[in-house]
Structure 1
Amino acid sequence: MSGPVWVLPSRAPAAGLCQGGGCALMSRSTKFQQIVRGMNQVLDVPLTVKIRTGVQERVNLAHRLLPELRDWGAALVTVGNGDILSYEDANRALQTGVAGIMIARGALLKPWLFTEIREQRHWDISSSERLDILRDFTHYGLEHWGSDTQGVEKTRRFLLEWLSFLCRYVPVGLLERLPQRINERPPYYLGRDYLETLMASQKAADWIRISELLLGPVPPGFIFLPKHKANAYK
């Protein structure tokens, strides 16, 4: 392994298969301790843990768990995430006195977000620059899975899942106010060129068209439905 390993007590029921393996671990101290200590013993990289503030609304547990997690062997603990999508969001989070911040979905919507935070600016990235990022992604996919039919379609599936998030980004030059909020779903709009309009589409058929620009035609009968299956997608 080459990086930190995360234990993620999440609110999502599927994460623990409805068997207490998600955020319920926060109220199961013995089980949680066994998992953290056990993983820490077998890993040769730092163990980091992401937790919520609590399991129930307005009943916080995190402040009690933090010193225990340190004693159990966690090298770093992240409490939730701040839905960071701009350098302003990052600055606001850092002003609370935390040692660092975690970027989650924001990196799926804006993979150039880290540049914006580092340079403290909004990047009005062009559609061609965004396509170059996608091209790099497909290159890495083909390098990893192979450039045969199976490798191409494996890469395409991951690309399409990513495009189902990327389409939520609204170009800086088209926003009425800055910054864009992470939970804002943009209305239909025309981009400054055809590619920008295509990238803004909420339709899976258009994501497939983008994939064909990079990976060639899809196989006959190809169908794609994003894993999160949002009702807005067709």
Structure 2
Amino acid sequence: MMRLLLASSSPARAATLRAAGIDPLLQPADLDEDALLRDAAAENGPLTVSEAVLLLARAKAQTVAATAAARAADVLVGCDSLLDLDGEPMGKPGTADRARARWLRMRGRTGVLRSGHWVRLRDGRTAGAVSSTTVRFADVSEAEIDAYVATGEPLNVAGAFTIDGLGGAFLTGIEGDPHGVVGISLPLLRELLIGLGVRWTDLWHPVSP
């Protein structure tokens, strides 16, 4: 069995991998995401949302590759997600006021959750790609928004919503891979691994009888 190291602190990403038969090692990446995006924009011009999430996913993988945890893994995966609303990137709101303002803008509309994936093998080979899943938001009331924000759930997730938690009731539909909304697209990750010569099933962990 090969071991996968996830360069993320997201419980939802880790849970998604476990449900798919993979027991990931975990090592969050310590980096200043805002500074990275500012520097990249200053050097190359404005970034699209897809370019931003792939840049951050790659940076997370590169940062964790230099840690002791990476030596125990065969495959290292970095991920990052942003909601693309009218071409504007929306990450974690961080505060209740920002989360509420986001929902007042998003309700009744459609956005695209973009998740960057960067895979690095022990031998240094890499591959990356972005998953894009269209999300339709319900036309929720202000009272519902206030109640949701008060739970704290939307404050620390990309786009200020979840599909696998309390926020799931406020989505009317999605187009694309639902795992991409959680922040790690299993089909896309499998394709990246195949391209690097790694079989998805080699990452499955033994199931106890």
TM-score, L = length of structure 1:
0.27
Return the structure number with greater strand share.
2
CA radius of gyration, larger in:
1
